[in-house]
Chain A
Amino acid sequence: MLNTKKVLALTLTLLFVFALIPAAAQAAPVYRSLDEIKADGTINIGVFSDKNPFGYVDENGEYQGYDVYFAERIGKDLGVKINYVSTEAANRVEYLETGKVDIILANFTVTPERAEKVDFALPYMNVALGVVSPDSRVITDLSELSADDPVIVISGTTAETYLIANNPEVKLQKYDTYANAKNALENGNGVAWANDNTEVIAFALQNAGYTVGIPSLGSQDTIAPAVSKGNDTLLKWLNDEIVSLADEQFFHKDYEATLAETYGLDYEDSLVVEGGTVKAE
């Protein structure tokens, strides 16, 4: 019985997957063009509602954060009202593929896989990996690690994948949750902790006695707004907007208003991307 059920489940899943592919390919545009959005008077923007300080909801029920600060400006410059849609990491692509939101502004890292399904606008932030370690022995380069110096990572994160692929000589100590990894570092189980650089920067800022010795490890990724594949009018408008906002150093203001409290001002220039141009390191 269990086996027939499994087979049936698999068949059904495959059926649905196959049903999805042609539908997506042949359907009329799912998205709304720039003019349609303006005519409607409301833009749907997908943001995180629980990723402080990028997109979250404050105690008065208002959306806040680095992404939301930008979204508010988009609404203002387009002259439309904003309807915020609470998204999850796992459904951001789906929201754009079905046109259920016009823009995703949810800490969306640009990757080649995603770029096949959605259109990314110019970036407005950098992300990379970072490594934090105790002040007693600050690790500034992975080569300082000896063979028995374990580095703490959280299972399933980019840091884990990156280190396994690029620095197989580094000994990893894996934890399931943020809290466990934090405890491990505090107890000295590992000599350093590798994670998204925003995370380690915030950690060092809040916990005295720790320093981010490596603020940017490996290839740098960018965060950008995304629209439905093919929504060129909206994409062009967004790109123009991002370029023109450089004149007033908009994203620096955004950083200072939303991120500075968490990450401090030291990293402002390395995290913010202004005018869509990533500065060469």
Chain B
Amino acid sequence: MGRELLRIEHLHKEFEGKTVLDDLSLTLREGEVAVIVGPSGCGKSTLLRCVNALEPVQGGSIFLDGEEIHADPRKLPQLRQKVGMVFQSYELFPHKSILDNITLAPRMVQKRGREDAEAEALALLERVGLADRAKDYPRQLSGGQKQRVAIVRSLIMHPALMLFDEVTAALDPEMVREVLDVLLDLAKQGRTMLIVTHEMQFARAVADRILFLDDGGIVEEGRPLDFFDHPKTERAQRFLNTFTFETVKE
């Protein structure tokens, strides 16, 4: 594992007086893949959104590569280039072709040339098996395809850290796999990732570390094998039990 990339210290976040994240601290090293699991409403997605400063925080601080994220709003666009985020609902830009969706940010934000940006976009699309869809528009693609494009759109900015917010939750089951395969591939390349998911088998396969979040705080963390096979806390055990079923018929 490399040097420290993300550090969250005593993060406090509330919505209209209700505490969502409570004194949460966490560090992530370069090349590390951390998967956040936990019951609905435990604050997983909010945590990701705070890291990207899509949500204001009420206390604590978040450092990316040593720079505090919430300190200066004018620096945000710069900092966000280092953080890629993929949303549950893809959020491709419907009025732009797949290629234009991907090349918009590199061209406008990083001022890269069109040819350069398009060449890389096509290479990345090739890698996720969608090179032939470059000229299409988002509405012509299936959910799984759209999500793969959204991942490419983030990757082309060469972010140091990738955030995935329940990226398979809106997909039909047969499309989940094609997206998760892309994430597994990224993990193999040694990318630093913070992933929120409900796919426990996938979490076990991809993670270096599992963070179990409940009631706005990290209740338990550890290596996947330890967490899934020998959860230490009672709350984690109860959570994991909701994914197993007893056989009811002989």
Q: Is there any pair of Cβ atoms, one from A and one from B, under 8 angstroms apart in the complex?
A: no
* Residues of A that sit less than 8 Å from B by CB: none
